[in-house]
Amino acid sequence: MLTQIEQLWRQGKLLKTAFDEYKVCIEAVFGEARTLLQSPPKTPPEFDVRLAVIPDDFYSMRRNLFSTLFQSVYHLLNIQEDRRLLYGKKNHLFRIWVTSADNLLDNEDKIVVPIEIAGSSRVMRQVISVMLADRILKNITDEAVQDRTITDDEATLLTHKSLQILLPSAAEEASEEEGISHRPDAEYVFHTIHRLKTGLLFHIPFLGPDTIEFNIDKNTLALCKEGLMSFGLGCQLLDDIRDIAKDYLESRHNYILSTIYADYPLYLAKLHTIESDIDVSSNIFELFHDAVCPAADRALNLLNDGLLSLGSAGLGIHKAAARQLGLGMFQVLGVGGITKCLNV
């Protein structure tokens, strides 16, 4: 059964088309993975490594909301189908790289490539996923050259920039790896840290258009970039609301925590008091109403503005739908309980 956010997402004809197209890209990536991920002959069964069965959920709308938005942008920019599919496959590889890196850095285990391997093997599965994605990149790029979807020179540019585009975000993550020593101003977190950490990732879909596409309408491109950046930052603020406990315990940048440290000494004292009673999975945003509610309003406005920008670019999202979709993201990102304090 479709969730409310999936039903809303599917109401847009272009979004549904983009979703169906992205599922083709997912299947193509996992098809390559299934071919590549094979142990040498005569490997003892207990040391065999292979791709596991892909769960149906991997193809759900809910799991691919962001990627569906990304794929829809290629339609808005009138990019030809073979290139749209190539960019969609590359976007799925970026998901593998970024999620696997996050898993390693944050001691998490969000499965983006289901791999059958001995033991619990959380770390090794991430390593294999990254190496596998690199080999898939080569295969799909070579195939695109053979099919004359792109030229050799374009393939080289895309391959090089697929690493370079991630480096600023990687540097930001590196700055938090051992924990931060002080909490900067909340606006610095929003405008600088979060634009590198998350906003940049929402501009990854423009790797191809910015690098090898030369007949794109610049106004539409600007609207798409503005829309995805705003939407991404809105999602990051919701992540910050959800992750107050995690980012406090792990000394990570967080817009809400910077606000608390600067403006709410009583909330800071409360954090110190409950520190021994919470863990990284604790959802404690309701304890900090005065700091969280303005951030939630800001997040909703960013989500709304982002979707309206994409609507202006041709996505077919009107004001009421943008508001509904924005509110739906609160549920998707695990902070649905905060919507009662919104100015809606």
- Among candidates 198, 200, 193, 201, which has minimal Cα distance to 172? 193
Please report, rounded to a whole number, the percentage of residues in the chain having pLDDT higher than 90.
Answer: 84
Q: pLDDT for 223-282, tens place per residue? A: 999 999 999 999 999 999 999 999 999 999 999 999 999 999 999 999 999 999 999 999
Ranges 2-6, 27-31, 113-117: which has the least confidence? 2-6
Cβ atoms of 336 and 327 closer than 8 Å: no
CA gap 186, 170 in Å, rounded = 21
Taking the alpha carbons of 205, 208, 210, 214 in that order, is the dihedral positive or negative?
negative
pLDDT reading at 85 higher than 80: yes
Average per-residue pLDDT for the chain: 93
Predicted model pTM: 0.94
Residue 78 — left, alpha, or beta (φ > 0 → left; ψ -120 to 50 → alpha)? left
CA gap 27, 40 in Å, rounded = 24
Q: pLDDT for 34-60, tens place per residue? A: 999 999 999 999 999 999 999 999 999
Q: Which range, 102-111, 135-144, 273-282, has the best average confidence (pLDDT)?
A: 135-144
**How many of the other CB atoms lie within 10 Å of CB of 27?**
15
pLDDT reading at 344 higher than 80: no
Both structure tokens of 141: 């790029």
Instruction: Output phi, psi for 6, to 5 deg.
Output: -65, -40
Q: pLDDT for 157-169, tens place per residue? A: 999 999 999 999 9
Residue partners of 216: CB distance under 8 A and separation at least 6: 77, 78, 79, 209
Region 177-201: mean pLDDT is 93
